[in-house]
Structure 1
Amino acid sequence: MNTDHLRAFVLAVDEGTFEAASALLGISGSAFSQRIKALEKEVGQVLLTRTIPVQPTEAGSALLRTARQMMLLEDEARRSLGFRGGASEVVTLSVAVNADSLFTWFQRVLQEAATWDDVELHLHAEDQEHSHELLRNGTVAAAVAETPAPVSGCRATALGTMRYWPVASSELLDRHRDADGAITWERVPQVDYSIRDSLQRTGLRRLGVTAPRVTHLIPSVEAYNAAVAHGLGWGMIPEGMMPEGLMEGEHPDLTLVEEIGPTEAHLHWQRWTTGTPALDRLTDAVRRAATRMR
């Protein structure tokens, strides 16, 4: 397959419109459309919907990961051979990382990457329970995932464990006690990072509670922790982000919820089996950073 055609196909999916993708390639809209039509003619199937945003068809989804891998290999080969004057001088690595990792131990990866002038990182913030989906559909070349079984075409390496503790303000819990002093957990507001965040629901199930009456969604690590600290609701906070004195029981406002207890997320690094020096270098950086995971 013509790699120019495959690159146009991938960019159409990523950019959402033919116009934006053609501008990125520096070619006319008609030339871009001809590349897509030529690829579809070659495979004998329609690969993209002509909608806004552009979406891959079922056949397109099946081709997408292979197309991304071929782009990565071509960019790496061009760079290693010293080709100049274009985007091929830089290798793009798309990676899925859960927000808590990105805010803590993965920052050491970013510190290493700051010394690389031939790689650009495109990070996708995705919950560790669902990042394997981005690997499967070809959106990313690697991911921090909870799933230990390798996605097809990938290999997995154990990274370590992040421990989360249930935290709430003492005032919040006191407002939801019954006449006997027991907390009515069904009525205690809960804070989730997103609708796919299952940490809090997993904790509540230990108490026999299926769902709280109120669930706040706050898709920001800093704002999430602040919301718990301000008593908006209870939530799971990584051990490495615990406010000073909380683990020792000396915090003036916050408390650990002992009846729920901690939850552990066992993280793995999943990456395409297709090897390139850039992806290998990133993998080495991730492994080093993960040794200091908290």
Structure 2
Amino acid sequence: MNTDHLRALAAAVDEGTFEAAADLLRISGSAFSQRIKALEKDMGQVLLTRTVPVATTPAGDRVLRLARQVAVLEDDARRSLGRGSGGRTVLRVAVNVDSLATWFVEVLRQAATWDDVALQLQTEDQEHTHELLRSGAVVAAVTERPTPVSGCVSMELGEMGYHAVAASALLDRYRTGGSGDTVGNGQAPVDFGAMPVVDFGTRDNLQRSRLARLGRERGLTLDPPRHVVPDAETYLQAVELGMGWGMFPDAQLPPGVLEGAHPELEAIPELGAAQVQLHWQRWSAGTEALDRLTAAVQQAARHMV
């Protein structure tokens, strides 16, 4: 396979159109189209949809991953031989938002001192970051999946702890029997089928898994209203404001919540805590830059809460 053809494939996906990709590679539109056609003829399959934006076919997904690997390895080899362009090695990495907001900050601190690397982070739920790795969109990912994607290696990082949290006022509104009612000397049970939930995204499964567990224990199907707030800081604020309950990373729990001493927030014992085991998956065919990033991730993960 011609490396120029592989770079054209990656450029088309990154830029979204053939025209923009041709401009990036500083070639004419017709020359760019010829490269893609030649690659597809070599593979014997259509690799790209001619849509806006351009998308890969299933066969294109596999070749795209190869294209990115070849580009990274070729650039690294040129630099090691003193023939590089002087640019930085681009490392595309998938990270779940909770990690990015907590322990992964230390990775950024180290990367800030590297003058030969450009980090491009993509955020996705930890249950789905491996999909970006499999498609070739990234060279490494923080993921829940321990089994390595083909062509990758997997390393255990540690566990992130989460607690179900809600505003006290919200819990009071959804206690069976009405706001402020009690049963005996305790509090009335919460109607978890009606009390809203705050999800980080449509594929955020943490809250769903806690509700499913509780539903199985009680023989119920719990399907409450769901808000979606796809920003880490605003997500925490939404729960604090009483929009719904959510899972807070232990590292971001406000002081006093677990001890019952917070004036506005409470942990929800019925939903309990969750431990999410995280792994670092990366290409097995690595470069010095990817090795350095891996070492930084492993070091930072030691401080995971």
Q: Give the TM bin, normalised by the shorter chain.
A: over 0.9
Change (3 A) 1:225 1:37: same
The offset of 1:138, in angstroms, is 1.1
Query: Partners in 1 of 2:58 and 2:277 — Cα distance?
Result: 32
Aligned positions of 1:135-174 closer than 5 A? 135-174=133-172
Query: Partners in 1 of 2:263 and 2:58 — Cα distance?
Result: 55
> Partner of 1:55 in structure 2?
55
Change (3 A) 1:155 1:85: closer
Aligned positions of 1:1-294 closer than 5 A? 1-85=1-85, 89-179=87-177, 180=183, 181-208=188-215, 209-294=220-305
Query: Partners in 2 of 1:59 and 1:239 — Cα distance?
Result: 41
The offset of 1:98, in angstroms, is 0.1
Contact 1:154 1:271 in 2 (8 A): yes
The offset of 1:269, in angstroms, is 0.4
* Secondary structure of 2:277 counterpart: strand
Stretches of 4+ moved more than 3 A in 1? 209-212
Consecutive unaligned residues of structure 2, counting only runs of 5 or more, are 178-182
Return the TM-score normalized by structure 2: 0.92
Contact 1:163 1:263 in 2 (8 A): yes
Query: Partners in 1 of 2:265 and 2:271 — Cα distance?
Result: 15
Consecutive unaligned residues of structure 1, counting only runs of 5 or more, are none
Contact 1:165 1:263 in 2 (8 A): yes
Contact 2:65 2:137 in 1 (8 A): yes
Contact 1:165 1:238 in 2 (8 A): yes
The offset of 1:13, in angstroms, is 1.1
Give CA-to-partner distance per residue, 1:110-163, whole Å, 9 cap, x none: 111111111111111011111111111111111001111111111111001000
Give CA-to-partner distance per residue, 1:244-294, whole Å, 9 cap, x none: 221222110000001111001000001111121111010000000000011
AA at the equivalent of 2:298: R
AA at the equivalent of 2:69: Q
Bigger shift: residues 29-38 or 106-115:
29-38
Query: Partners in 2 of 1:106 and 1:286 — Cα distance?
Result: 7
Contact 1:144 1:268 in 2 (8 A): yes
Contact 1:188 1:212 in 2 (8 A): no
* Secondary structure of 2:138 counterpart: coil
Query: Partners in 2 of 1:174 and 1:123 — Cα distance?
Result: 40
